[in-house]
Amino acid sequence: SPTDERFLHFTERVRAAASHPRESIDDPWPAATRREANNPPVASWSSGLCDCYDDVGGCCLTFFCPCVAFGRIAEIVDQGATSCCARGTLYMLLAMATGFACAYSCCYRSRLHQQYGLQEKPCGDCCVHWCCGPCALCQEYRELKSRGFDMSLGWQGNMERMGKGVATAPPQMHPGMTR
């Protein structure tokens, strides 16, 4: 009967709470089975890691000018706190001086997947950038484009285009009228 099933379900929850003494009786679900309130649901990327040719322009940009592609991605992920030029230049210098720009760009991939609740796949963010940096940048570029960003406009340009621009002060009026 339905009542017996509910009772059985309740007793399973109580047993689970009893086996985890740090959990409160008011919240009988073990911490391992509970999703934290501040973690967004996990979503899939809009395209696969190797779907570079879905956006030929973005593919060419990330292959031939990865510093520009990375700078554009970083500006959007940073929500305009840093410029495309600053992050792109730092990426280029790291690539030229050490060859390990992937260590820098994987941090932005992590931030991107956290901001949008994306799955960390096919493997960890740093592993993806280490093994296939251009494909990772291209996927991130496509993801932001699929979310409505015009990557050539930067953060401020996209906010203005979306009608979420920063409030500006009204023009100053001089007292009295003059001709």
Smallest Cα–Cα separation from 132: which of 93, 105, 94? Answer: 105
pTM: 0.69
Band (pLDDT 50/70/90 cuts) for residue 113 is confident
The pLDDT, as a whole number, for residue 96 is 94
Greater model confidence, 12 or 146:
146
Q: Return all residues near 2 (Cβ < 8 A) that are at least 6 apart.
A: none
Mean pLDDT of 43-51: 89
Please check the confidence at residue 11 and state whether its pLDDT lies above 70. no
Please tell me the total count of domains within the chain.
1
Could you give the percent of the chain with pLDDT greater than 70?
69
Span 37-52, average pLDDT: 77
24 part of a folded domain: no
Is 10 inside any structural domain?
A: no
Find out whether the peptide bond into 122 is cis, omega within 30 degrees of 0: yes
- Provide the pLDDT for residue 39: 58
Domain span holding position 64: 52-160
The answer to whether residue 27 is domain-embedded is: no
The predicted model gives 139-146 an average pLDDT of: 94
Residue with tokens 């379900």: 9
d(CA 103, CA 131) in angstroms, rounded, equals: 11
Q: For residues 37 and 84, give the distance between their C-alpha atoms in angstroms, rounded to a whole number.
A: 33
| Burial of 147 (C-beta count, 10 Å sphere; 0-12/13-18/19+) | exposed
15 domain-assigned: no
Q: Is residue 171 part of a domain?
A: no
Whether residue 125 is contained in a domain is answered as yes
Is 26 part of a structural domain of the chain? no
With cut-offs at 50, 70 and 90, classify the pLDDT of residue 29: very low
pLDDT of residue 99: 87
Flag the least confident range among 2-6, 41-45, 114-118: 2-6
Tell me if 2 is assigned to some domain: no
